[in-house]
C-alpha cells in the first residue's frame, strides 16, 4: 500500500510528513533510527529523546499510487508547513525522491504546480559555493564518499536515477542518512533507503 504518512508528537502537536511504498515498514525504520539516536531529522530526534516514544503517533493520511507519491507528499508538506520548526520536524521542503520512476512532462508540471505559492520551497536545493569548495579541496579527495565528487543514485536494478554533486547534497535534499549512503558507496552494504549508490568516477553507465 503506497501512501503519505504523518508522525505526530501528541505532546506539542508538531508533525513529520513522509511518503513510502510501504508506510508501516517505513515507520519501523524511523523507530529503529530514533531508538539508535541516528535519525536524519535532528528536530525529530531531539523531540523523540525529550518526549519519549509513547508521545509519537503514526498514521497514513492518504493512500495513493506510486506514480503520485511525490506529488501528494509535496502537497502535504506545503499544507502543513512541516518544515517550519515551529510546526514540524521535516528538514527538506522538497518531497522525497523519484523512486526510480522516469517522470513525464505532465508529472513535472503537476509537481511544479503543487509547489506554487510556497516562496520557500527552493531553499536548500543547492549546496553553497563554500561547501562545494570544501568538498573539492578535501584532503581525502575522491576516496572520501562524503566529498568525493559526483555520486549516482540508482534503482535496485542498477539504472541511474539521478546524479548528485556529492553525497552531502543528496543526503541533505532527500533527507536521508549520509552514513547509510556512504556505507553502500564503500561496498559495506547493498542498498540504502531503497537505492543503490556509487561514486560516478568508479563506474561506467550504471550501478552494478
Compute the distance between CA of residue 32 and CA of residue 35 in angstroms, rounded to an integer.
5
Q: Which helix (H) or strand (E) holds 3?
A: strand 3-9
Burial of 191: CB neighbours in 10 Å, binned 0-12, 13-18, 19+: middle
Compute the distance between CA of residue 206 and CA of residue 208 in angstroms, rounded to an integer.
6
pLDDT at position 114 over 60: no
pLDDT band at 183 (very low <50, low <70, confident <90, very high): confident
* Cβ–Cβ under 8 Å, residues 78 and 92: no
* Higher-confidence position of 14 and 93: 14
Percent of the chain past pLDDT 70, that is, above it, reads 71
Answer yes or no: pTM beyond 0.85: no
Q: What is the largest CA-CA distance in the chain?
A: 50
pLDDT at position 104 over 70: no
Compute the distance between CA of residue 152 and CA of residue 208 in angstroms, rounded to an integer.
11
Q: What does the pLDDT read at residue 6? A: 96
State pLDDT tens for residues 133-182. 554 554 344 444 444 578 998 888 888 888 888 888 888 778 788 888 88
φ, ψ (nearest 5 deg) of residue 140:
-85, -15
* Higher-confidence position of 148 and 70: 70
Q: Which domains does the chain have, with CATH numbers?
A: 3-115 (3.40.1440.10), 129-202 (1.10.10.10)
Compute the distance between CA of residue 18 and CA of residue 59 in angstroms, rounded to an integer.
11
Mean pLDDT of 4-13: 96
pLDDT band at 81 (very low <50, low <70, confident <90, very high): very high
Q: What does the pLDDT read at residue 182? A: 87
Mean pLDDT of 17-23: 92
Q: Which helix (H) or strand (E) holds 154?
A: strand 151-154
In the numeric block, the cell 560516478 is attached to 200
What is residue 17's three-state secondary structure? Answer: strand
**Separation of first and last alpha carbons in the chain:** 29
φ, ψ (nearest 5 deg) of residue 198:
-145, 150
* Higher-confidence position of 109 and 32: 32
pLDDT at position 54 over 90: yes
DSSP 104: P
Q: What does the pLDDT read at residue 108? A: 55
What is residue 80's three-state secondary structure? Answer: helix
Angstrom CA distances, 182 to 20, 26, 74, stand at: 22, 20, 27
Amino acid at each position: 500500500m503506497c501512501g503519505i504518512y504523518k508522525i505526530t508528537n501528541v505532546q506539542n502537536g508538531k508533525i513529520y510528513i513522509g511518503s513510502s511504498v510501504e508506510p508501516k515498514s517505513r515507520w519501523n525504520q524511523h523507530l529503529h533510527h530514533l531508538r539508535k539516536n541516528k535519525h536524519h531529522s535532528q528536530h525529530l530526534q531531539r523531540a523523540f529523546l525529550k518526549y519519549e516514544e509513547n508521545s509519537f503517533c503514526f498514521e497514513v493520511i492518504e493512500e495513493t499510487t506510486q506514480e503520485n507519491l511525490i506529488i501528494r507528499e509535496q502537497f502535504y508538506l506545503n499544507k502543513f508547513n512541516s518544515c517550519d520548526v515551529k510546526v514540524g520536524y521535516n528538514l527538506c521542503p522538497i518531497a522525497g525522491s523519484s523512486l526510480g520512476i522516469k517522470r513525464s512532462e505532465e508529472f513535472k508540471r503537476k509537481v511544479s504546480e503543487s509547489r506554487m505559492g510556497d516562496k520557500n520551497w527552493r531553499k536548500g536545493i543547492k549546496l553553497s559555493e563554500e561547501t562545494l569548495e570544501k568538498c573539492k579541496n578535501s584532503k581525502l579527495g575522491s576516496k572520501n564518499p562524503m566529498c568525493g565528487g559526483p555520486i549516482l543514485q540508482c534503482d535496485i536494478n542498477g539504472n541511474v536515477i539521478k546524479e548528485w554533486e556529492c553525497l552531502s547534497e543528496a543526503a541533505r535534499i532527500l533527507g536521508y542518512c549520509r552514513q547509510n549512503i556512504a556505507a553502500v558507496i564503500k561496498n559495506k552494504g547493498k542498498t540504502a533507503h531503497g537505492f543503490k549508490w556509487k561514486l560516478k568516477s568508479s563506474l561506467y553507465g550504471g550501478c552494478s
